[in-house]
Amino acid sequence: MLREFVITCALATSVCAFAFTGSDLNKLCTKTAPNSRTACAAYIEGAADGVYNTIEAIGGTSGPQVGQYFCLPADVKPQQLTDAVRKYIADNPDKATFNATTMVSLGLGKAFPCKVER
């Protein structure tokens, strides 16, 4: 019985972790309620920060690295991040079912690509 419970919990956790899609994020971001707009911006900033920190942990972000998805300018505004991600989702409806964090990475990569150092 305990084994079945543990397996069920593990499966449920995996499903929940990947249930928030790019489409879900876009729906959140299109709502006009201030709480929804704040949640949208916070999710995008948090996902971007998480991706950045992951890259830093596996090899650094001092210049374009293998696997680095985006390079944000120092003066980038939260609304620019939101706009970039929403545009990417709108331009790529075939990818709207991807995990929301993946869509954040792809959207920011499109809008803020890293310059190749020579």
Tens digits of residue pLDDT in 63-83: 444 556 788 888 999 999 999
Look up residue 63 and give its two tokens: 């210049």
pLDDT at 94: 95
For residue 90, pLDDT beyond 80: yes
Task: For residue 26, give both structure tokens.
Answer: 């876009």
Residues 34-38: what's their mean pLDDT?
A: 92
Q: Tell me: the pLDDT tens digits for 39-65? A: 999 999 999 988 877 776 666 555 444
On average, the pLDDT of the chain sits at 79
Q: Domain 20-111 - what CATH class?
A: mainly alpha
Which of 7, 89, 4 lies closest to 44 in space, CA to CA? 89
Structure tokens at 6: 């543990």
Mean pLDDT of 91-100: 93
Domain range summary for the chain, segments of one domain joined by +: 20-111
- The pLDDT value given to residue 88: 95
